[in-house]
Chains A and B, each alone.
Chain A
């Protein structure tokens, strides 16, 4: 009898392998997705670069290359989220609707794990590489002192950010349990909700008033997603925010798990 941890790692590897094989089956689609996602990032990049340009290279305290690094961080987080979490996190409403979720419930495996990790999208990884490239380029232009500690903490923040994005998306998706009779467009709802919130996260927090920034840091931790890692690297981060970031993720996870249990119970008593 293997240890549970090894079992789940082995399962994850199976999912990884299966998704890779599946994606390699459709090379045309893969290339299309890569191209499309590169363009998407390009719009975002152009938007900010033009904005910064029009404002005389000073966008509320962000210079051109600082802004570029911000965008790079955004691309890295967004792309990694898309590849590891996106197709999982918003699949629940569809699975519930088609009855596929029953197949997951009946297996002797933690249902949350399966729902959260089953799909991995490789086209989005390429995007992440683009982000890394942009990040390196902007750092070079900025003459920022890059130490191993800085980079390690930056990477840790990125992992934290992706986990936060997963948790937000996951909680939205659990709502599917409560609205079992949702239409096809209803399954877009958690997705829309997520991106509505994410809109707030992918801007420099200077555009918000102090009150709003507080709210977006301590209530719905959106500023921790992009602003925190970016500022850590090219600007400055307050100690409070740093400490808070250590606390918020595990607490949020616990809350999300409770919510999941409640939702699951609802599914089990209300479905036919």
Chain B
């Protein structure tokens, strides 16, 4: 019984405490400064708006568009990033020639590319997909190359001793040994990719959560803006949890 009580406390009460704290701070600010709803609506108004939004088809379409752009860009970025990162970890020649390009490009944050992607791809989905893939790619290249290079050298010798050639060794030993590190990088990359999608939609899009929010802001529907922000946070957390669950299921060994 006591352990059940503790579980409830740890899993339910404590997380609620944090949320409660934020909500009361929010309410307190409203009370202290008498802010109009256009500047800061009450948590209840936002909750009501959220419920209303969830009932509309347009909302789900925006969520769907953002998720579609994110997912496609993310998968492309992860696959290419892991492939290039592995090559960099495995081949000295490739590493020497790729490193300067990677090192200089990875500090050009994805947002710096937004004006160019709008110029090249307009407000279409493609621009966002490219941007997410770009953001994710560099995170994955750098962390994959590092994770592959840090694999215990004895494991490589064992692989060779067991008769594996270079590429089998790369695939069956190095990538597998590096997988937990790569997976945690993939989670960090998901956060960056999701941020990139929304940011790109803020600036130029024909659909998506970012556009929904900027449209609401121009019509002073502040409750919708905040509701949209909450949805962005929830979707991001959901994506991150999904990746963590996936990496636990597929990669964990006791």
Do A and B form a real pair? no
* Interface residue ranges, A against B (CB under 8 Å): none
